[in-house]
């Protein structure tokens, strides 16, 4: 092998080595770029996950705050619906002027007079037993609303049962008038006895009936739930139980 041949082989070998070196450098650089891109992707994924966690926590806190605010608003609304009723005692002077006596008392701390209970019972009996020409049932419905606002305990349940059985809001030919005769207080047990005269006419059956009744009523106190009840029952008086029976034989006519 001559010198030219050796020179040619060496030049070819050198070219191959240079190509391999260039390929290695290119490969190394490409791998470096790939690794750098991979690290960038990981960094961005980590940042995105971090932001996602932050937003999830923020959304959770927002929901909790919203629920808390809503609950507080509901609580305030319920408190606003409750009525704090007071009674201011007054005295009527000889000149007909009212003079305030003492300081206002809580509704249930005030002790009503017997006359106040008696006035309530007279209305209670009249509204409960009355029947009249009331085609739209407006007065009857108002009367029964009044009765429910002045009834408590067992009397409320008895009244609700009577509404279902008697159907007072349905038009009928029955007409009943009430005349209160007397109201007395009994000490043992503490209750009130009401005596009234009742006249009932049934136009459909051409029936006329007169009857006196004696009712025994126990009374109590209740706190109004809203302003409407407070205006309708200013002293919180109520019938807690009652029993009604005929006082004597009735008379009929046609």
pLDDT band per the 50, 70, 90 thresholds, residue 229 = confident
Percent of the chain with pLDDT over 70: 61
CATH of domain 111-253: 3.10.450.230
The three-point CA angle 223-224-227 to 5° equals: 150
pLDDT-derived band at 9, boundaries 50, 70, 90: very low
pLDDT bucket at 81, cuts 50 / 70 / 90: low
CA dist., res. 121 & res. 108, Å (int): 19
DSSP helix/strand/coil, 82: coil
Torsion of CA 166, 169, 173, 177, to 10 degrees: 80
- Residue 226 pLDDT level (bands cut at 50, 70, 90): confident
For residues 99 and 210, the model is more confident at: 210
Residue 52, Cβ neighbours under 10 Å: how many?
A: 10
Q: Output the pTM of the full model.
A: 0.63
Mean pLDDT for the chain overall = 77
- Residues 254, 203: contact at Cβ < 8 Å? no
Quickly state the pLDDT bin for 215 (edges 50, 70, 90). Answer: very high
Pairwise pLDDT comparison (3 vs 87), residue with the higher score:
87
* 204 vs 242, residue with greater confidence: 242
pLDDT at 250: 58
User: pLDDT band for position 132 (50/70/90)?
Assistant: confident
pLDDT at 88: 59
């Amino acid at each position: 092998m001559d010198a030219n041949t050796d020179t040619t082989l060496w030049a070819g070998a050198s070219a191959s080595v240079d190509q391999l070196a260039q390929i290695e450098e290119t490969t190394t650089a490409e791998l470096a770029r790939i690794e750098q891109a991979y690290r960038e992707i990981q960094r961005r994924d980590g940042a995105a996950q971090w932001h996602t966690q932050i937003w999830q926590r923020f959304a959770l806190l927002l929901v909790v705050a919203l629920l808390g605010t809503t609950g507080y608003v509901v609580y305030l609304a319920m408190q606003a619906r409750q009525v704090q009723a007071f009674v201011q005692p007054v005295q009527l002077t000889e000149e007909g002027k009212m003079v305030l006596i003492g300081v206002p008392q809580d509704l249930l701390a005030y002790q009503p007079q017997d006359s106040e209970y008696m006035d309530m019972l007279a209305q209670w009996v009249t509204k409960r037993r009355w029947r009249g020409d009331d085609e739209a049932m407006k007065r009857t419905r108002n009367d029964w609303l009044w009765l429910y606002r002045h009834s408590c305990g067992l009397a409320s349940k008895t009244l609700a049962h009577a509404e279902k059985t008697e159907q007072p809001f349905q038009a009928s030919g029955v007409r009943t008038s009430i005349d209160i005769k007397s109201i007395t207080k009994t000490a043992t047990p503490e209750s009130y006895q009401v005596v009234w005269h009742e006249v009932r006419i049934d136009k459909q059956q051409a029936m006329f009936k007169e009857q006196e009744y004696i009712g025994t009523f126990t009374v109590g106190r209740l706190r109004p739930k809203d302003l409407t009840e407070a205006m309708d029952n200013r002293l919180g008086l109520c019938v807690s139980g009652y029993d009604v029976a005929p006082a004597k034989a009735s008379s009929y006519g046609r």
